[in-house]
Amino acid sequence: MIKNILKTAFAACVAISCQAIQKDVVLNETVDDSLNMPEDFWLSGQATMRLDSLFNLVDQAHHQLNNGDTLGAELTYEYAFETLARFNLQEQSTLLRWSEYDSVLQQMNNDYEQIYENQQEITEAEEIREDITNFEEELFPDSILFGDETVVDTSSGFPITLNQKVRAAIKYFQTKGRPVFSIWLERSGKYENIVKEIFKKHDLPEELIYLAMIESGFNPSARSYARAVGMWQFISATGQHYGLRHNWWFDERRDYIKATEAAASHLKDLYEHFDEEWYLALAGYNCNPKRVKNNMRRYNTNDFWQLRRLPRQTRNYVPTFLAATIIAKNPKKFGFYVDKQPAIEVDTVQISESIDLNVIAKSVDTSYAFIKEINPAILKWVTPPGVDNFTIYLPKNTKEKFKKAYANIPDSEKRSWVRHHIKSGESLSAIAQKYHTSIAVLKSTNNLKSNFIRAGQNLLIPVPQNAAQAYASNVSDRPVSRKNYSKPVKAKENPVEYKSTDYIVKKGDTLGGIAELFNTRASKIRSWNGLRYGQHIYPNQKLIIFVPKEKSVVSSNPSKQSIVKADVSSGEYYTVRPGDTLWDISLKFGLSIADIKRINNKNSSTIRPGEQLKVSSN
């Protein structure tokens, strides 16, 4: 399902499905030869620079993802999607004729699918909304609740409609969606008092708190495929409009208090925009308000239920919200017997300097983990530097204790630093990766005007006092320009365990095939050799490959490899052991990976312990 959603997102970005592709688009200037585009392609200089930036962003994001930096990859892809959206219709039409550009779009699709398949809890609300859209089940009219008629209750001031679509959503939550909805009910206990208080202050109906339930499952750290973040799922532009800032250090869309204030303002604006019709306002919250307005004009109505050309998920968004509200207001009536989590109660303080969260935790006699939990907006181990009056949350009734302790903390203990002596060949990028920080942080901390550094200099680098805890979440900074990626990057692996070998590219070789031959990733080969997405390899080109020292080195001609065979079980079949890879087995039996896959009719390189593989071509 995620794959289908992503395809839809890409279709929206390119926005050319309803218009014919123009075959010969000629703009002002030719493209840069370094992009290796077809000779008959013509793009403006600005479009060429944008394309170059897109390739760099995707390359950086893919590298972050391969190194486990999921948050960093997501943030980088946010910039990539924004860059993609700036291509006009003619430019998109031209670029889609180029297979390498199509490959980049596919790479973005694959990476995003990987990000969100690994974050099931984070995307649970989004998955449930999509699942309800596809949910069909016969409903038996055995009571008013499951009858056919439409009932509208306005006694609370907010219209609660009960019709067939709402009943279907209730039925879904009672059956297939019961486990997830139970979790949402439990989690709601942590935040509902905070949300109710803020909504009451803004004179909003209390029922609207359950919008956070179907948006994120009351999860402040939730992220969606559309790059929306937080309990209220703000995209970057909307969040900034309502004062929610975010960068490498923090993201106020994850702040359950500030984001709720922003959501209250946003909902009030939508309510006024749609002439005080709540269902239309909610539809506008889910999709572009302009699209809702267009549908209203098309059908000449302000009745949400008559807008039949809205996106399918938006048409189901209001019924899903109403179903969640009806159940959440009286869960036992619908068979939900859950104990809600204790309400979060916090004190608020303002800090204008960078301080390690471990120091904050010690000053109020709590744990680093709890400080992180009640401050989800802080992405790193430390409060953001250079931000005046940054809000942090403390356990209830510890504010005065913290102020007293904070006044006695020497500046030298508020955060930790290391002094790094720059060695020959080191770059800011490599140093930033080593210390789990960003180039921007290194430049800011050391007053560097450019990325140029000299061997022999010293850099002052901020590090957490408890590295094991702090490095659990790592977000990378905005990628730098291509010139910083033009040189080959040394392998990240421990040089004691890995050594380099040269591989000479043959006609017909691809990076994917070479990567499989050496049991590595194409992205790593690009990194080692300074290659970018869209850059071709060519026959007789020499590539640097890093391989484990204990394994035999593959020669540039696989058919003439020198293989050191290991002692293996006799016979034509081999039983896969834990930790085995096709690379290991190919070395043991003197076969290529391709041969093993061919004689075993395998389409992938995945093997499992206990699997029997044929290792004789006879």
Query: Does 438 reside within a domain?
Result: no
**What is the pLDDT, as a whole number, of residue 71?**
65
**What is the pLDDT, as a whole number, of residue 244?**
95
The answer, yes or no, to whether residue 430 has pLDDT greater than 70, is yes
Query: Does 465 reside within a domain?
Result: no
Q: For residue range 11-21, what is the model confidence (pLDDT) as tens digits?
A: 444 333 333 22
The answer, yes or no, to whether residue 120 has pLDDT greater than 60, is no
- Between 151 and 315, where is the model more confident? 315
CA–CA dist 401, 417 (Å, integer): 26
Average pLDDT (302-331) is: 92
**What is the pLDDT, as a whole number, of residue 74?**
72
Count of helices and strands (H, E) across the chain: 25, 10
The answer, yes or no, to whether residue 25 has pLDDT greater than 50, is no
The answer, yes or no, to whether residue 65 has pLDDT greater than 90, is no
Q: Are residues 110 and 136 in the same domain?
A: no
397 close to 372: Cβ distance less than 8 angstroms = no
Which of 34-43, 234-243, 453-462 ranks highest by mean pLDDT?
234-243
Q: Which of 117, 150, 177 is the last residue of a domain?
A: 117
CA–CA dist 526, 534 (Å, integer): 11
Give the number of other CB atoms < 10 A from CB of residue 260: 24
Q: For residue range 328-354, what is the model confidence (pLDDT) as tens digits?
A: 999 999 989 989 999 999 999 999 888
Q: For residue range 478-536, what is the model confidence (pLDDT) as tens digits?
A: 333 333 333 343 444 443 355 667 788 877 677 777 876 777 777 677 767 766 555 66
Of the pLDDT bands very low, low, confident and very high (cuts 50, 70, 90), residue 464 is low
**What is the pLDDT, as a whole number, of residue 553?**
40
Domain count along the chain: 5
Q: Are residues 252 and 145 in the same domain?
A: yes
Q: Are residues 380 and 299 in the same domain?
A: no
Average pLDDT (298-306) is: 92
**What is the pLDDT, as a whole number, of residue 507?**
72
CA–CA dist 312, 306 (Å, integer): 13
Query: Nearest CA to 55 among 36, 74, 29, 39?
Result: 36
Tokens of 491: 């392998």
Query: Does 314 reside within a domain?
Result: yes
Tokens of 107: 């790479």
Q: Are residues 148 and 277 in the same domain?
A: yes
**What is the pLDDT, as a whole number, of residue 377?**
95
Question: How is 135-183 classified by DSSP, letter by letter?
Answer: --------SSTTSSS-EEE-TTSS-EEE-HHHHHHHHHHHTTTHHHHHH
- Full 3-state SS string of 391-423: EEEEECCCHHHHHHHHHCCCHHHHCEEEEEECC
Give SS3 for 110: helix
Q: Are residues 53 and 160 in the same domain?
A: no
Mean pLDDT for all residues in the chain: 75
Q: Are residues 264 and 294 in the same domain?
A: yes
- Enter the DSSP assignment of 249: S
Checking 62-67 for CB contacts under 8 A at 24+ apart, the result is 62/107, 62/111, 62/523, 62/533, 63/523, 63/527, 64/476, 65/111, 65/114, 65/115, 66/521, 66/523, 66/524, 67/433, 67/492
**What is the pLDDT, as a whole number, of residue 375?**
96
CA–CA dist 391, 380 (Å, integer): 15
Query: Does 151 reside within a domain?
Result: yes
Q: Which of 87, 117, 147 is the last residue of a domain?
A: 117
- Enter the DSSP assignment of 501: E
Question: Domain range holding 547?
Answer: 488-557
**What is the pLDDT, as a whole number, of residue 505?**
81
514 close to 525: Cβ distance less than 8 angstroms = yes
Residue matched to tokens 């922003």: 262
Q: Are residues 249 and 155 in the same domain?
A: yes
Q: Are residues 129 and 99 in the same domain?
A: no
Average pLDDT (298-322) is: 91
Tokens of 444: 């800011």
Average pLDDT (244-273) is: 94
**What is the pLDDT, as a whole number, of residue 489?**
39
Q: Are residues 544 and 600 in the same domain?
A: no
Segment among 216-230, 342-356, 445-459, 515-529 with least mean pLDDT: 515-529
Query: Does 471 reside within a domain?
Result: no
Query: Does 467 reside within a domain?
Result: no
Tokens of 340: 């809600």
CA–CA dist 557, 589 (Å, integer): 17
Q: For residue 316, what is the domain's CATH number? A: 1.10.530.10
Query: Does 450 reside within a domain?
Result: no
- CA angle 390/394/400 to nearest 5° reads 95
**What is the pLDDT, as a whole number, of residue 579?**
58
The answer, yes or no, to whether residue 582 has pLDDT greater than 80, is no
- Between 568 and 229, where is the model more confident? 229
Q: Are residues 210 and 163 in the same domain?
A: yes
Q: For residue 575, what is the domain's CATH number? A: 3.10.350.10
Query: Does 440 reside within a domain?
Result: no
**What is the pLDDT, as a whole number, of residue 124?**
64
Segment among 93-102, 369-378, 459-468, 583-592 with least mean pLDDT: 459-468
Q: Are residues 364 and 304 in the same domain?
A: no
Between β-strands 498-504 and 458-463, what pairing exists: parallel, antiparallel or unpaired?
Answer: unpaired
The answer, yes or no, to whether residue 407 has pLDDT greater than 70, is yes
Q: For residue range 133-185, what is the model confidence (pLDDT) as tens digits?
A: 666 443 433 334 445 567 777 777 899 999 989 999 999 899 888 888 999 99
- Enter the DSSP assignment of 210: G
Q: For residue 382, what is the domain's CATH number? A: 3.10.350
180 close to 187: Cβ distance less than 8 angstroms = no
- Between 496 and 444, where is the model more confident? 444
CA–CA dist 26, 502 (Å, integer): 42
The answer, yes or no, to whether residue 595 has pLDDT greater than 50, is yes
Q: Which of 117, 147, 165 is the last residue of a domain?
A: 117
CA–CA dist 225, 234 (Å, integer): 12
Q: Are residues 283 and 155 in the same domain?
A: yes
Overall pTM surpassing 0.75 (yes/no): no
Of the pLDDT bands very low, low, confident and very high (cuts 50, 70, 90), residue 33 is very low
Q: For residue range 184-198, what is the model confidence (pLDDT) as tens digits?
A: 999 999 999 999 999
Residues 6+ apart with CB under 8 A from 351: 383, 389, 390, 392
